[in-house]
Amino acid sequence: MFSEELYKGWSWSEKFPGQPEIERWLNWVADKLDLRKDTQFNTGIKSARFNEATERWILTTDSGQTIDTQFLVTCCGMLSAPLTGLFPGQDDFKGKSYYTSIYPKDAVDLAGKRVGVVGNGATGIQVIQTAAKTAGHLTVFVRTPQYVLPMKNPKYTPAEQEAYKARFAELSKTLLHTFTGFEYDFEHAWADLTQEQRRQVLEDVYADGSLKLWLASFGEMFFVQEVSDAISEFVREKMRERLKDPRLCEILIPKDYGFGTHRVPLEMGYLEVFHQRNVELVSVKDNPIERITPEGLLLRDGTEHAFDVLILATGFDAGTGALTRMDIHGRGGCSLTEEWGRDIRTTMGLQIHGYPNLFTTATPLAPSAALCNMTTCLQQQAEWISGCIRYVREHGLTVCEPTREAEDKWVQHHEETAAATLVQKTVSWYMGSNVEGKPRRLLSYIGGVGQYRQKCDEIAAKNYEGFAMH
């Protein structure tokens, strides 16, 4: 469980703190727990190979270091493998270019410059709404429109800080069992309410300025087309009220997928940005980007846009990319890159058959791959992995690996759970659709954080049933 001392020892300044404050908190936690002595920075893992003779992992780093270890636990993050080099000619661009996925730590000066932004996912939206304040001219290239929700970010007074700190005992119990690991959960059944009552619920959660509309209104939106249609139209209506211009509505408001079946970004003034005189919106859905030129960007119809700065919000190879780029080989020389290139499989997102003593977090087929408050889910996975390693050592064992039967059973359960939802119908990175050639599978377990935790706890209580040890 998360430390009560750490929880109460830090005072957040606002509801959704920015990156600098989050980084200060992470450093504070690292110092409080004395983690730096066990951490090696600025090191990339080039390869990891399981030595069957010694039953240990041999890692090589990008500096030539060799690491020999019994257990390998990957904590690489589910959005940490940037998609780069998607357009020909990128090296020819004479201006400054940046990926939002690997944005420089130092501030980028956009004041008065011609800026182009490619992509309008969650990170792209943050860049767009910020860059529009200073750019001389901002051109935004949109392919897939996004449902968005306005974010309210109130500052916390000392009294409010003490109030949330007082909720430690409550939150430490409830967060573990909600559908997505947030403090709120679905409270209403669509069929139990009148049309007027449903509308009031939607208005209330919309006004909260958080993800409540997505994660605490009506769970039926993920399963029932009629409910999905109604809630999607509610959000479209709210977006139309803010956009006003029919052309902007046509490009920026989704029509061919349901609200919540795709990542839902929060934003602050994003839609209003497109009313500014210094902002231009270009749809590339039917007129895609052909290439990057020395001066800017060329579309298929021959239109060229010139920039001083080009920002590419082109996303990630989510869930799998961090590991498939690491050259991991398991028992019998099997390659994780090749296997996941054919079929993305794990055992509960915790281990993979054929890779003994390899434990994983934030990988496919667990809620932590996308559909979870990451702090809640990663903490749960870290606790389960720690408990499993402790069990291995306390019983004089050396190796733990899921059986093929256990993995098949979990993959089947995952697929049956996913198939019951509307999420599988949407083309999105949730399904791996943004990476050419990537096997199509819902990356995240959608049975709920509480149910996933229960299943993990049951396995541990049965001496890690389904995990072969010797």
Q: What is the mean pLDDT of residues 84-89?
A: 95
* 29: in domain: no
In the chain, the number of structural domains is 1
* 62: in domain: yes
2 pLDDT above the threshold of 90: no
Give the CATH number for residue 323: 3.50.50.60
What digits encode the pLDDT tens for the residues 424-443?
A: 999 999 999 999 999 999 99
> Which residue type does 403 have?
T
> Which residue type does 261 have?
T
pLDDT band at 41 (very low <50, low <70, confident <90, very high): very high
What Rg do the C-alpha atoms of the chain give, in angstroms?
A: 23
* 285: in domain: no
406 pLDDT above the threshold of 70: yes
* 464: in domain: yes
Secondary element (H or E) of residue 391: helix 374-394
Give the DSSP per-residue string, 245-286.
-HHHHHHHS--SS-TTSS---EESSHHHHTTSTTEEEEE-SS
User: How is residue 263 written in tokens?
Assistant: 């990542």
Q: Which strands sit side by side in the sheet containing 304-306, from one edge to the other?
A: 289-292, 296-299, 304-306
- pTM, two decimal places: 0.95
Tokens 């590419």 locate to 312
Model pLDDT, residue 107: 86
Model pLDDT, residue 83: 95
**Cβ distance 313 to 340 under 8 Å?**
no
pLDDT band at 1 (very low <50, low <70, confident <90, very high): low
Secondary element (H or E) of residue 47: strand 45-51
* 97: in domain: no
The percent of residues above 70 in pLDDT, for the chain, comes to 100
423 pLDDT above the threshold of 80: yes
Secondary element (H or E) of residue 463: none
Helices then strands, each counted (H, E), the chain: 15, 18
Model pLDDT, residue 312: 97
pLDDT band at 127 (very low <50, low <70, confident <90, very high): very high
Euclidean distance between CA atoms 469 and 449, whole angstroms: 27
Model pLDDT, residue 315: 95
Secondary element (H or E) of residue 14: none
**Torsion (CA) 74, 80, 81, 86 in degrees, nearest 10:** 170
Give the DSSP per-residue string, 79-141.
S-SB----STTGGG--SEEEEGGG--SSPP--BT-EEEEE--SHHHHHHHHHHTTTBSEEEEE
3-state secondary structure string, 360-388? ECCCCCEHHHCCCCHHHHHHHHHHHHHHH
Euclidean distance between CA atoms 33 and 26, whole angstroms: 11
* 51: in domain: yes
344 pLDDT above the threshold of 70: yes
* 349: in domain: yes
Range of 55's domain? 40-81+318-469
